[in-house]
Amino acid sequence: MKETILVIDDDSAIRKLLEVALSAAGYRLVCSATGKEGLTRAAIDAPALVLLDLGLPDMDGKEFLARFREWSQSPVIVLSARSGEGEKIAALEGGCDDYLTKPFGTGELLARIKAALRRRGMGMGDASSGLLSDNLSLDIATHTVMLNDEELKLTPKEFELLRKLMQNSGKVLTHAWLLKAIWGVGYQQETHYLRVFINQLRQKIEIDSARPKRIITETGIGYRFVG
């Protein structure tokens, strides 16, 4: 059965582009031109994922996101012409899973959709004590991390950081979110903590820490785990 994707965008050309590209990729598309209509369609169709523009004619996309998050945890990917870091951070901390700036490539969008749906299917990793990415595995119950069948020695903070990244594989996690989740309230501005621990993790799990393939930097925003 085809998974349903809800597109909320008042630009008919963008809706048509997405309808052609995503239908060809095997998804069922439902489209809305306004936030109010989008909320109605979301309630009726229960989409597996939402593609959301921020500049809607009847409400800001962040308002839609706040209302949608009151009752649904389906992934939301923002597609917007707003490219400022502040806009991206506000949307990500408001509950969206990813953010692509227009114009975007359909190949990259399809990859982001697949990653978000895969993460949704895994239940964000909460239901299992084990997380796996190719030759890297993390066992929550035993607090062990294995790379190529060899155990890595991680500090408690390194372990928690890697755990959060792997549990949210494919999702952009902002600096503030990671700092609050791992160090607690009051540390959201201490981004140098993250830089140090991210560098330490990369040295342990990347083939080349100077050209990371697993922990990707989203400049000015945060980090994304690719696995």
- DSSP output for 81-99: S---HHHHHHHHHTT-SEE
pLDDT at 90: 92
Query: Cα angle vertex 88, ends 87, 94, to 5°?
Result: 90
Rounded to two decimals, the pTM is 0.79
pLDDT at 1: 66
Query: Cα angle vertex 215, ends 50, 206, to 5°?
Result: 145
Residue 188 contacts residue 134 (beta carbons within 8 Å): no
For the domain 126-225, what is the CATH code?
A: 1.10.10.10
Q: How many other CB atoms are there within 10 angstroms of residue 194's CB atom? A: 20
How is the chain split into domains, by residue range? 4-121, 126-225
3-state secondary structure of 217: strand
Fold of 4-121: Rossmann fold (3.40.50)
Q: How many other CB atoms are there within 10 angstroms of residue 22's CB atom? A: 22
Question: pLDDT by residue (tens digit) across 95-120?
Answer: 999 999 999 999 999 999 998 888 77
Cis peptide bond upstream of 103, omega within 30: yes
Q: Which residues of the chain have pLDDT under 70?
A: 1, 121-129
Of 207, 225, 81, the C-alpha closest to 166 is 225
